[in-house]
Structure 1
């Protein structure tokens, strides 16, 4: 078989494995060889060859004995380098953690997917401490967006290596985390699917935090169906129970404030074309203001960002000691901004957040909300590495649309919807209020083919 197993969807590869057309050992060896041959050495921070082959051999034995653990048995997966993996030090994209103790056990979410037979291939690169939407990392290098062509462009962050590993066809799925957009942004920039679950849907123990009141996680993969299968595996059912719902009558709200401000024309055109296609298939489209969006930006201007306050609380001792000199200076600068957020202001942010969550739930109800995942396509790497002001302004713009959903505790799926400037991918973000993950994934299953159009 000549087609790269890493370039297949989870569903395609599962069909081959479950029918014994290919063996998990063959799949794992081919995936490892593909990673080894890939010219960009910054995508992974570690390859877990021994573990992967051991898990593949166990999967192969089960399948030959008729003891398959389900549709994900034998499927390779990569892990963002902030998930604990037994026997390995979790770096969170930082060299200051690289000499720390090895994890005594897998993170529970890693263990859950291992129990149903998934094969852990390696650890993917990321923005240091998950604190950037661009994916630039001065310590381990910056993975190049595989859609870039001759001009090296950012992969999106903070799950940078995860996005590139899937988009480049190295693995069928990679797990990321999302505090302000870190699953959905790399999915959009790289032209793949990224699902950010409602915070708390999965256990976060053994996952290096950024801001615990915002941290969530989810897979980066090729299709919404793949995301549904991975979600089911992390949740525990033997098989996914989520099925597609009719597009006809699907109620979609498009905000007419904030999310299109400063958006590139190509991004808007790709998004609006997808909306036209959905409307032609019977989806109900309405355009309204969501006042909470403006208020969130106002709160951040007045009190500071919630993520920054919590990141400072996490890293304040590190910033006060010698390790600060070994951090990405841009990460350190952003984290230090959290020191300005007083306890009173932090509590005011939390109170306002709960009020806004309730306000938006009453406004949106069971509708879905759609807008571009990011207002621009992936920018070039080189200028951002040398110009701090450009880095901070671009990072803020990159995170703006997605962080609204984190603040409001939404779930969301980024689906490729075409291309913008320089033929770079554009993401269509479909979101729902918190804990409506099943409804969101069901809607995304049916809408995905329409949204993608020719962008398959």
Structure 2
């Protein structure tokens, strides 16, 4: 294979298909060859060779006959191991779900991207039940961060395999979910683009939940343009994706508190350098205190995290039965914390959340919010495997910045903006208030080249 097709952006690969300079069947076979030759076998939990070959052959016929379904026809995609795939049990990074009935049909978003002509390559590994920002999985192995050159480093979670699959050049795009940062964290740690849509932008039918009040979806890919194309197809929109905005029209606000505490110097330096480039390019930058950030932390401290309350409700029966012994003990421990949240506490969280969303959105207005996706680069694996206290402390720190966007129902895009400690990638998180995804994607496309530097 002279070209690593999977290392291309969707736009590059699409152009080859439309000009008949590459064939979907050849590309699908090349993708499987690349995956099988890759030394880390923990990235994928399942490969869908028969399905992918059938879909690639159908795409090839369409393109040959001049009946292309559009920009995504023939493009390979990997799915996180919590999206229903027809005929397979949905295991969500766990072994206890393997005995469940196979899915009767694809998840709605899987079906929509199939209708757009995309080729389902396989399912990627993840944190068990999507309940960690680190990406360690004791059942299927932990995908290793391909950007590390010194020690073995974590991939970020919970969409761990998705982030590694794109960063390692195994697929051009992988679909993840994001409840507290599970798209944007692995994107930042692995140096790729990760887009978290506003909750409710896509159908969640056929997607195994973690906390339904927070769960959202989004792709990990190479460019913001790629994310915009995927977004259109997942909404069943046939019109052209959103256009770029002018840099000079963009106002960015940087929170002064809540997201920089304990940040590594290299992360801050890379982020500030990107801000400097943006300002030089004409973007208007301001810095303000976000009182809502402090109150989010206060609410969670008083009543417990919303995610643990809803995760416990989902897994309560499982935790009281024999399945608990077959689960990751750290997932079990964290999920059981939700039992402490009473019904009154849960309602108080929802009431506070509704108020904080309104207050913070009013503060932001039509501006975009910018801060580091994660306050540190991908940490080494070994210390986190060795000690529970170290793991839980790092997990909380890893999720801190991105979790604000989930609680406040924002949309966000993590874009690589440079490197920090040990030459590891740093993510620049650009966010907008909920249901302004088109504006966010438009702005992110305009700013991406400058942010990357």
Q: TM-score, normalised by structure 1?
A: 0.99
Pairwise CA distance, 1:239: 4.1
Query: Aligned residue for 1:33?
Result: 33
**How do 1:27-426 and structure 2 match up within 5 A?**
27-426=27-426
Q: Structure 1 unaligned runs (5+)? A: none
Query: Aligned residue for 1:10?
Result: 10
Distance 1:2 1:247 in 2: 38
Pairwise CA distance, 1:235: 1.3
Give CA-to-partner distance per residue, 1:330-377, whole Å, 9 cap, x none: 000000000000000000000000000000111001000000000000
CA RMSD, aligned part only? 0.6
1:446 aligns with 2:449: no
Q: Secondary structure at the match of 1:20?
A: coil
Q: Is the 8 A contact 1:377 1:420 kept in 2?
A: yes
Pairwise CA distance, 1:241: 3.1
Q: Is the 8 A contact 1:10 1:173 kept in 2?
A: yes
Q: Structure 2 unaligned runs (5+)? A: none
Q: Is the 8 A contact 1:228 1:240 kept in 2?
A: no
Q: Secondary structure at the match of 2:249?
A: coil
Distance 1:213 1:183 in 2: 17
Pairwise CA distance, 1:243: 0.6
Pairwise CA distance, 1:149: 1.9
Distance 1:240 1:146 in 2: 34
Distance 1:247 1:58 in 2: 41
Q: TM-score, normalised by structure 2?
A: 0.99
Distance 2:351 2:310 in 1: 15
Q: Secondary structure at the match of 1:54?
A: helix
Q: Is the 8 A contact 1:374 1:401 kept in 2?
A: yes
Distance 2:390 2:418 in 1: 26
The count of corresponding residues between Structure 1 and Structure 2 is: 453
Distance 2:347 2:53 in 1: 49
Q: Secondary structure at the match of 1:180?
A: coil
Deviating runs (4+, > 6 A) in structure 1?
none
Using a 3 Å threshold, how does the CA distance of structure 1 residues 239 and 29 change in structure 2: closer, same or farther? Answer: farther
